[in-house]
C-alpha cells in the first residue's frame, strides 16, 4: 500500500498523561507535513492546537477517556467544551459497566446524547474490545449502528489490549453500512496497519506509524 494512503487514514495520536504542549505541537507539525486524517490529542490542548493548525489539519479529542464510567452529563459537557474549543472529531468511551449490566438502552442513549453534542462533528465510539465478550462486541456493533455515530473504534490503548484483526473483521461484518471502523491500540508495524485496512478499517489510531514509515 502506498505510504500516502496509509497516512491519510491515520489519526496521529498522543494521549499519554505526560503529554506536553511542545510534544503536541510537534505531533501537529507531523500531521500537517504528512497530511494525516487528524491528530488525536488530550482535550486540554484542543483550543491551542486548533489555533495552531487552523484549517490545515483536523483535531480529534477524547471524551470519557479512558475508563468510560463518567455520567452522561459529564460526557456531554466534555463534548460541548471540546466543540467550543475547535475539535473536529470526537472519540468517546462507552460505559462498559452499563453494557455488562445489560443496560443496552442506557448505552445507546448516552451515545446519542454525545452525538447531539457533537453538533455535526464526526463521532467515534470506543467499545474497548479487550474487556468485552464476543456477544458484547456483537451487541455494541448493533448499538453503534443504531446510535447515528460515524465510527466504531476498538480500543483506548490504555487497557489490557488493543485492536486485533479478528475484532476489526467482526465489526466490519456487523456494523451498518454507514458506520466505519477505527482500529487503535497496539499497532506495532506497517504490515499490521496495512492488514487492518485490508480487513475493513477506515481509520488507524496510533502514535508509531509515521516513525515506522520513516525507518
pLDDT tens digits, one per residue of 115-167: 999 999 999 999 999 999 999 999 999 999 999 999 999 999 999 999 999 99
What domains can you pick out in the chain, each with its CATH number? 3-214 (3.20.20.70)
Whole-prediction pTM value?
A: 0.98
Distance CA 132, CA 156 (A): 13
| Burial of residue 31 (number of CB atoms within 10 Å: 0-12, 13-18, 19+) | buried
- In this predicted structure, what is the pLDDT of residue 186? 87
Q: Is 91 a catalytic residue?
A: yes
Yes or no: say if 60 and 87 are a contact pair by the CB < 8 Å rule: yes
Q: Is 124 a catalytic residue?
A: no
Residues ≥6 apart with Cβ < 8 Å to 194: 1, 6
Active-site hit among 91, 150, 167, 192: 91
Grid cell listed for 72: 452522561
Active-site hit among 50, 115, 180, 182: 182
The CB density around residue 171, as the number of other CB atoms within 10 Å, is 29
- In this predicted structure, what is the pLDDT of residue 44? 98
Active-site hit among 115, 124, 153, 180: 153
Of all residues in the chain, the percent with pLDDT exceeding 70 is 100
- Choose among 205, 191, 206, 143: nearest CA to 171: 143
Distance CA 89, CA 123 (A): 6
Q: What is the pLDDT of residues 28-72, one digit of tens each?
A: 999 999 999 999 999 999 999 999 999 999 999 999 999 999 999
Q: Is 84 a catalytic residue?
A: no
Amino acid at each position: 500500500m502506498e505510504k500516502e494512503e496509509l497516512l491519510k487514514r491515520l489519526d496521529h495520536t498522543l494521549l499519554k498523561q505526560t503529554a506536553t504542549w511542545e510534544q503536541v505541537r510537534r505531533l501537529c507539525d507531523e500531521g500537517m507535513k504528512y497530511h494525516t486524517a487528524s491528530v488525536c490529542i488530550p482535550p486540554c490542548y484542543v483550543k491551542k492546537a486548533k489555533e495552531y493548525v487552523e484549517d490545515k489539519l483536523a483535531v480529534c479529542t477524547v471524551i470519557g477517556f479512558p475508563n468510560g464510567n463518567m455520567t452522561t452529563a459529564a460526557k456531554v459537557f466534555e463534548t460541548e467544551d471540546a466543540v467550543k474549543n475547535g475539535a473536529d472529531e470526537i472519540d468517546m468511551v462507552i460505559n462498559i459497566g452499563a453494557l455488562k449490566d445489560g443496560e443496552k438502552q442506557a448505552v445507546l442513549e448516552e451515545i446519542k446524547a454525545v452525538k447531539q453534542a457533537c453538533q455535526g462533528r464526526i463521532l467515534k465510539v470506543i467499545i474497548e474490545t479487550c474487556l468485552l465478550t464476543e456477544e458484547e462486541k456483537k451487541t455494541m456493533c448493533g448499538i453503534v449502528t443504531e446510535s447515528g455515530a460515524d465510527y466504531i473504534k476498538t480500543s483506548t490503548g490504555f487497557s489490557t489490549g488493543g485492536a486485533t484483526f479478528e475484532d476489526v473483521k467482526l465489526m466490519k461484518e456487523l456494523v451498518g453500512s454507514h458506520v466505519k471502523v477505527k482500529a487503535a491500540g497496539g499497532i506495532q508495524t506497517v504490515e499490521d496497519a496495512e492488514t487492518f485496512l485490508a480487513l475493513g478499517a477506515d481509520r488507524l489510531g496510533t502514535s508509531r506509524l509515521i516513525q515506522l514509515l520513516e525507518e
